[in-house]
Amino acid sequence: MSILRQLRPMLFALTAMLPPLAAHADTTQPVLIIVDGSGSMWGKMEGDETAKFYGARDRLRERLAAAPAQSRIGLASFGHRRKGDCSDVEIVTPIEAGGAPATMAALDQLNPKGKGPLTAAVREGAKTIGPGASGHIILIHDNADNCGQDICSAAGDIAKSNPELRVHVVSLGLAKPEGERMQCLAATTKGLQFDASSQADVADALTQVFAAAGLDAAAALPAPAAAIAPAPPASAKGPPGLRLSASLSEDGGPIDAAISWRIAKDDAPADAVPLAERSNREINEALEPGQYEVAVVFGLIERRFDIEAGADGPTVKRVNLDGGRMEVTATANQQGDPLTAPVMTVASLAADGVSPASTLWLGREASASLTVPAGKYLVEVSDGLARARQTVEIAPGALQRTALILDTGRLELSATAVAGGPPLERILYLVFADDPSAPEGRREVARSTAPDAAFTLQAGTYYITARHGAGERREQVALSSGDVVKRTLVLDVGKLTVKPVLAQAVGQPTRALATRVYEAAGEKRLVGQSTAAQPVFVLSAGQYRVEAQVGMSNIRANRVVDLTAGGDVVADVKLESAAVTIEGVTGLSTQASMRDASGRVVWRSRAGDATEAMVAPGTYVLQIEGTGAPVEKSVSVRPGEALTVDMRGP
C-alpha cells in the first residue's frame, strides 16, 4: 500500500475540520437612483420632442439592463404620488443585490404629477444607505427644490455623516440660476455633475455616472452562476390597470411624442367624466379589472379601442393608430422663392379616390408636417390667384414628402393721367384670363381699387383694364414664373369741374341741380351725370357738351368744353331764371299751369303747392282750370324778373 493511500483517511479528516469555502464575496457598493417625479418632468428640453421623464427613463433602462447582475441597486422618487405635497418622498424599491430588474419594473410604474421635494429625497436617500456607509446616489431631476429646502445645507450634512457617499447629479434642461443652486450638491459630496440639454447628453452622463458607481458591466468581474439574481417578485408587476403605448403601424415602434389619451368605462354614457385623460407618450393607469374604451388622438388621427384590463398586474398593450406622416412644402417657382400669402388645404378623398370628401386641415403656411390616418388625400396650395394640387397616398407608418410648385409671378399696377404724370388714385383695375366658355372669351379673375394694386398670378397671359371715372385703358400682359411685372397704364384723362350758376336768381330753386356731360361728337353718348353742387368728372381727352338743369324744369344751360390729357378744366354754366306768382287761384280743385311757345307744359301746380313758378325767361300761356271754364293769360318774363299775374281780371 502506498503512502498516499495510508494518508488519505487523515486528509479527509483534516478537510472535514476546515470551515466551508465562503461563497463569492459581494464587494459592490450600494447605489440608490432618485428620479424626479414632479409634474415638470412631462416637459421637454429645448429642441427635443420627447418628454424629459420618458427620455431619462429610457436611458436609465439601457444602463440598468447592462449593469452587472449582482449590482446593489434601489430606486427612489419624489412628487410622483400626490400633487402639492412636499412630503411625497418614497423609496420605491429597496437597495438589494440584483435589484436592476425590479428597478426597471418600478420605473415603468412612475407617473410624475406633484411638487419637487428634491432636498428631502436626497436626505432620505442618505438615510437609506446608512450613516457612515459608503455608496452612491444618482439624482436625475429637472428643477431645483421648490419646497423651500436648502440643498447646499443638506449636502454639507451628508458629507459629514457619510464622507464616503458620493451624490452624482444629472440635471435636465436646467436654467442657469437653478443650475448654479444645484452645483453645491455634487461638489460637496465629491460626486459628478452634469447639465444635460439633450437626450444624447443624458445618455453620456449616465454612462459616466454608472461607471463611477461601479455599475459598468465591462469593468466588473462576472458573477458566479449561483449568484444570478432571481426574477423580480410578482409584486413588481404593479396593480391591475392599463399601460398603453401607440404605434403608427401594426409592426411599428412606439411613438416618441405626446399623445392624447382618454380612458372611460366601456359602458359609461357619452357625457361621463373620463377615468383618465392626459397627454403623454404612454399612459399608465391603475384600474379595476374590466372592459374600457380608450380614445387616442395623435396629430389628425383619432382612434377608439376596447381594451380589457386583467387582474394580474397592468395590461401592457401597444395600440395601432394606422397612420403616417405627410410633409408638404410649396414654393413660388423652381428657384424656391417663397409664397407671399399661402393657404394650404388637405382634404381626404372619397371612395372613388378623386372627389374630396372632407377638409382635414387648413393653414396659412407654405409648409406643413401632419400626422394623418392612412389613406388618400388631396393637397392644394393657393397664393393669391395661383394654385397647385396633388394627390398624396399615406401608408401606415410611412413618411410621404410632397413638394408643390405654383409657378407664380407678381403683377404690380399703377395708372397716370398722362405719360410721366403722378399716379392716379381711386382706380379700378380688372384682370381677365382667356376662357373660351366665358362671354367674349375672357373671364374676370381679379379686381382691385388699392392705390398700389398687386396680384399674384400663375404664369400666363392676362388682359388688364384700368378705369378712372369715364376714362379707361386696356393692355395685355405676359407673366412668367418668378417674374415681377410692373406696369403703369396711361389713361390719357383730364379733370372737368362744373360750376352751375343761377344768374340774376330771384330765389333759390326748390329742386336739385342736375349736371350731365355728353360727347360732343360721334354718338354724343352720356358719359357722366351728377346732382352735386359742383360735380367733378374724370374723362378721356376730347370735346364734351356740359348741360345743367334745375330739376325737371325748363331752366337749363349748356356749353362745350375741350379737355386735354392731364388737363384740369373748370366750366361755369350760367342758368337764367324768372319767377311768376299767380293770384286768384282758390280751392283745392283749382290747378294752374304754364305752357311755352311750343305748347309744352313747363310748370304745373299740385294740390297744396304754393302758386309760384320758377321758369326760364320767355313767353308763356298761363292757364287756370277748376270748377268753371278755363282762364288763360299770355305773359312774358325777362331774366331775373319777378312777375305777379292776377288771373281774376282781364
Superfamily the domain 323-405 falls into: Carboxypeptidase-like, regulatory domain (2.60.40.1120)
How far apart, in whole angstroms, are the C-alpha atoms of residue 42 and residue 141? 12
Question: Exposed, middle or buried by CB within 10 Å (0-12, 13-18, 19+), for 160?
Answer: exposed
How far apart, in whole angstroms, are the C-alpha atoms of residue 39 and residue 116? 8
What grid cell was written down for 349?
378623398
The answer to whether 114 and 79 have CB atoms below 8 angstroms apart is yes
Half-sphere exposure of residue 642, counting CA atoms within 13 Å on the CB side? Answer: 6
What grid cell was written down for 168?
452624482
Q: 276-280 and 259-265 as β-strands: parallel, antiparallel, unpaired?
A: antiparallel
How far apart, in whole angstroms, are the C-alpha atoms of residue 403 and residue 491? 42
DSSP 589: T
How far apart, in whole angstroms, are the C-alpha atoms of residue 350 and residue 358? 8
What grid cell was written down for 124?
432620505
How far apart, in whole angstroms, are the C-alpha atoms of residue 329 and residue 406? 11
Closest CA to 326 of 262, 395, 266: 395
Give the CATH number of domain 237-320: 2.60.40.10
Instruction: Count the neighbouring beta carbons within 10 Å of the beta carbon of residue 2.
Output: 7
Q: 428-434 and 460-468 as β-strands: parallel, antiparallel, unpaired?
A: antiparallel
Write phi, then psi, for 264 (nearest 5 degrees): -140, 155
The answer to whether 145 and 118 have CB atoms below 8 angstroms apart is yes
E runs forming strands in 173-231: 193-196
Q: Who contacts 157 (Cβ-Cβ below 8 Å, separation ≥6)?
A: 123
Q: Who contacts 53 (Cβ-Cβ below 8 Å, separation ≥6)?
A: 35, 36, 41, 42, 110, 112
How far apart, in whole angstroms, are the C-alpha atoms of residue 296 and residue 129? 43
Helix 52-65 vs helix 100-109: crossing angle, to nearest 10 = 160
The sign one gets for the Cα dihedral 537, 541, 547, 548 is positive
How far apart, in whole angstroms, are the C-alpha atoms of residue 332 and residue 581? 76
What is the per-residue pLDDT for 175?
84
| Residue with grid cell 299775374, as numbered in its chain | 645
Give Cα separations from 403 to 326, 345, 492 (angstroms): 11, 14, 46
How far apart, in whole angstroms, are the C-alpha atoms of residue 543 and residue 157? 105
What is the phi-psi region of residue 291: left when phi exceeds 0, alpha when psi lies from -120 to 50, beta otherwise?
beta
Write phi, then psi, for 54 (nearest 5 degrees): -65, -45
Give the CATH number of domain 578-646: 2.60.40.10
Q: List, edge to edge, every strand of the sheet that includes 484-490.
A: 453-458, 408-416, 484-490
The answer to whether 443 and 511 have CB atoms below 8 angstroms apart is no
The answer to whether 54 and 66 have CB atoms below 8 angstroms apart is no
The answer to whether 71 and 99 have CB atoms below 8 angstroms apart is yes
Q: To the nearest 5 percent, what fractions of the chain are helix, strand and coil? A: 15, 45, 40
How far apart, in whole angstroms, are the C-alpha atoms of residue 616 and residue 553? 8
Instruction: Count the neighbouring beta carbons within 10 Å of the beta carbon of residue 573.
Output: 19
DSSP string, 176-188: HHHHHHHHHHHHH
What is the per-residue pLDDT for 211?
92
How far apart, in whole angstroms, are the C-alpha atoms of residue 340 and residue 469? 31
Instruction: Count the neighbouring beta carbons within 10 Å of the beta carbon of residue 436.
Output: 7
| Residue with grid cell 444629472, as numbered in its chain | 170
The sign one gets for the Cα dihedral 612, 613, 618, 621 is negative
Give domain 493-576's CATH number out of 2.60.40.1180, 3.40.50.2300, 2.60.40.1120, 3.40.50.300: 2.60.40.1120
Give Cα separations from 161 to 115, 132, 136, 600 (angstroms): 27, 6, 14, 125
For the chain (650 residues), the mean pLDDT of every run of 10, in chain order, is 37 36 52 93 83 89 90 94 88 92 89 90 93 94 89 92 94 86 91 91 93 74 38 52 92 87 90 88 89 96 95 90 95 88 92 77 92 95 92 94 92 94 92 87 92 91 93 93 93 94 60 89 87 92 94 91 94 92 72 91 73 90 81 91 82
How far apart, in whole angstroms, are the C-alpha atoms of residue 576 and residue 327? 78
3-class SS of residue 369: strand
The answer to whether 290 and 263 have CB atoms below 8 angstroms apart is no
Instruction: Please report, for the chain, the start and end positions of each structural domain, with discontinuous segments joined by +.
Output: 31-221, 237-320, 323-405, 408-490, 493-576, 578-646
Closest CA to 193 of 204, 201, 185: 185
Amino acid occupying residue 126: A
DSSP string, 20-68: PPPPPP--PPPEEEEEE-BGGGGSB-TT--SBHHHHHHHHHHHHHHTS-
Give domain 31-221's CATH number out of 3.40.50.1820, 3.40.50.410, 3.30.460.10, 3.60.20.10: 3.40.50.410
What grid cell was written down for 133?
456607509
Q: 399-405 and 323-331 as β-strands: parallel, antiparallel, unpaired?
A: parallel
Helix (H) or strand (E) holding 392: strand 386-394
Length of the chain measured in residues: 650
For the chain, the C-alpha Rg in angstroms (whole number) is: 48
Q: One fold for both 31-221 and 578-646?
A: no
Write phi, then psi, for 266 (nearest 5 degrees): -60, -30
Identify the CATH class of 408-490: mainly beta
3-class SS of residue 153: helix
